[in-house]
Each structure stands twice: as C-alpha cells, then as structure tokens.
A = this chain, B = another copy of it.
Amino acid sequence: MPPTVTEPIRKRPTLHDVAARAGVSKSLVSLALRDSPKVSAASRAAILAAAEELGYRPNRTASSLVQQRTHSIGVHILDLHNPVFAEILDGVHEAARRHGYSTLLVTGNADRQTEKQEITRLLESRVEGLILIAHRLSDDDIAAIAAEVPTAVVTWQMDGIARVDSVSGDDRLGMRLGVDHLVTLGHRSIAHLSGGENRISHARRDGYVEAMAAHGLEPRVIPGGFTESQGYRAAHEAASSSQDDPPPTALLVANDLAAIGALAAMRDLGLDVPGDISIVGYDGMRLLEALDITTVAQPLADMGRQAADLLMERIDRLDRPSVHRRVATELRSRGSSGPPPSPRR
C-alpha cells in the first residue's frame, strides 16, 4: 500500500536531464529512445537506465511541434449514447492503431454549434485527419474543413468534395429489404417511423416510399427521431391512431434505438409483437440480437475500419480523388417480425 504522504509533483525531467545523468548529449538520448541503430550498446544501456531512474516521459507536444506531425486523427461522433457508434468506433480504433495513429474523440452532442466548436478544437490540435461519424454539417462546412485536413465521413455518401472520402451503406436498398421482408410475410399496411430532419433519415424515408410504391402500397410516414423516446412516441402514435384508419400491422423504424422504443410502446399498449404488429429496426447493432428484434444490418465495425483506412491512405497521398465505399446491407430476420394478425385483403 503506497504511503499517503503528498510529495509535490516536481518538474518533469527532460531529455536534457537524462542526458546529463547518462553523461551523453541530448541528441544521443533522443536517438536511443527512438531505437536508432546508430547508438552503441553501452550508450543505449546507460541512457535507458538514466531515463528509468528519472522517470522520464517524452513530451508529445514538443515532439509534435518540431516534427510538424502529431500522429493523431480526430474523430467526431454524433451521439455516444447510441451503441451503434461505439461499434463503428471499434473499427476506427483498430485501424488507427494498426497505422500507428492515436485518436482524439469528441462529440457534438447533436448540436451543430458545439459540433463546429469541437471540430475547431481538433484542428487547433493539428490532427492529421478527421473522421466524422454521422454529423449535422452542411456540404460547405465539410468542404471548408477538408481544405485544411483530409476527411472521411461515415454513414453518409459524400461526393464531389475534394479530399473527402466516405463509407456508407445503401439506405434506399436497406429500406427496400425491410419493406420486402414485411411484404413477404404478408403485410400490406406498413408504417415508417422516420428519424427526423436529417439527411440519413430523409434517404431512409425516401427508400421506404419508393419500396412501398414498387409494391403498389400506400406509404405512411410518422415523424420520429433516432432515440428510444422518440421511437416510443412515434410508435405510440402510429399504433393508437385507430379511430379513423386501422393501425398498421408493421412498423419499419428509422434506426435500432428507436425500434427499441417502439417495442416498449407496443408493450405498454398491450400489443403483442409480432402477433399484433411487427417491428423492424435499422443499423444492426449487437444489442438487438439479445432483444430479438429484426433489423436491416450494416457491418458497423467494418465501416469504421474502412473509413480509417481510407483516411490513412489519403494522408499519404493528399491529392487522390475522392472515394466512396458502399458496404453490404442485409436483413436480419428475428422474432419481432412475423405474419400480420388477420389475413387482410
């Protein structure tokens, strides 16, 4: 058990101190600590010993300054509460680490203003690249950022912006898979709980409308959002608005988190899932497996990994043309979707 005495944190030793103790020059210490082959075995041993004894710790800020490189990338994530983003982040971390980069993670808390501020901070910290995992910025904002630093966008296709690469699934296709799945089960009255006013939600909504049209079915979009509570509310509205229309027999929800909320709403309304109503989510986060919810899945970690790989590639070759990678989207059928209650005409 370490003693409770509070010995003052003294000034950190520098290369200079290590050099003095080892009886060599600071340059040699620098070389030795970076495993240069030009250092003799004797010097190396003395230096390592001295560094150890002093508790030397290299100063990255100084190193970054002189090298004009930070070996770090910035990652901006829309909302840490959504486990989807944690899964994407896994891939980003893995790839960054593999390339010898560390990551600076920030969140904008879904507010455009703080989002910009946080990104500004990253730029001032001189990150060498930027990964935006979902964002609320305009194309112009992105272009301005990319003029300063290579950028990769995840979950949304960017095109035509210099130095911006992107990785995303195919939202229209995904929604078609969802609609097809439900239609195959026999549903004809399928409502879509949208994700609110942002690009991804719009794409998913459009995909839904198209797919419904392709089956000759009437689309019904209920405004919602990407959180459990918004999903809950939208689902509640959709399923209880039964005075005029009959309620839908299936809900295709904008994302997984909202689908969890939708499931909760059905439970509170006393409706059986999938007996009375089917629910399908979107994203494919791990937790949905335990919850047995059908979803349109994307390879999340892989998306993060690919974005980071693209970014590293671009850091090495700034002027490479912009790339978009589209990842496979597939339906994972689980217990929350089944045939509609009574064979509707």
Contact = CB atoms under 8 A, between A and B. Distances in A.
Given A61-B125, A65-B61, A290 B319 contact: no
A80 B86 CA distance: 6
B59 A2 contact: no
A162 B123 contact: no
Contacts of A263: 290
Contacts of A229: 290
A104 B107 CA distance: 11
A99 interface: no
Most B CB within 10 A of own CB, among A2, A102, A229, A319: A2
A341 interface: no
Interface stretch (A139-147, A192-200, A205-213, A239-247): A139-147
Query: Chain A interface: which size bin?
Result: 35 or more
A12 B89 CA distance: 29
Interface stretch (A3-11, A39-47, A169-177): A3-11
Contacts of A3: 162
A119 to B, nearest CB: 11
B81 A123 contact: no
Contacts of A322: 4
A80 B81 contact: no
Contacts of A319: 6, 8
A143 B1 CA distance: 9
B70 A80 contact: no
Contact of A292 (B58, B86, B267): B267
A23 interface: no
A31 interface: no
Most B CB within 10 A of own CB, among A61, A123, A229: A61
Contact of A291 (B61, B93, B260): B260
A275 interface: no
Interface in A288-345: 289-292, 318-319, 322, 335
A320 to B, nearest CB: 9
Interface string A1-35: 11111111100100000000000000000000000
**List of 9 A-B pairs having minimum Cβ-Cβ separation, nearest first:** A2-B143, A264-B290, A80-B86, A105-B105, A228-B290, A60-B124, A61-B64, A6-B319, A81-B86
27 contacts: A1-B160, A2-B139, A4-B161, A6-B319, A9-B147, A9-B163, A55-B148, A59-B124, A60-B126, A61-B64, A61-B70, A80-B86, A80-B89, A81-B286, A93-B107, A93-B109, A103-B106, A104-B104, A104-B105, A105-B105, A228-B286, A232-B290, A260-B290, A261-B290, A263-B290, A264-B292, A291-B291
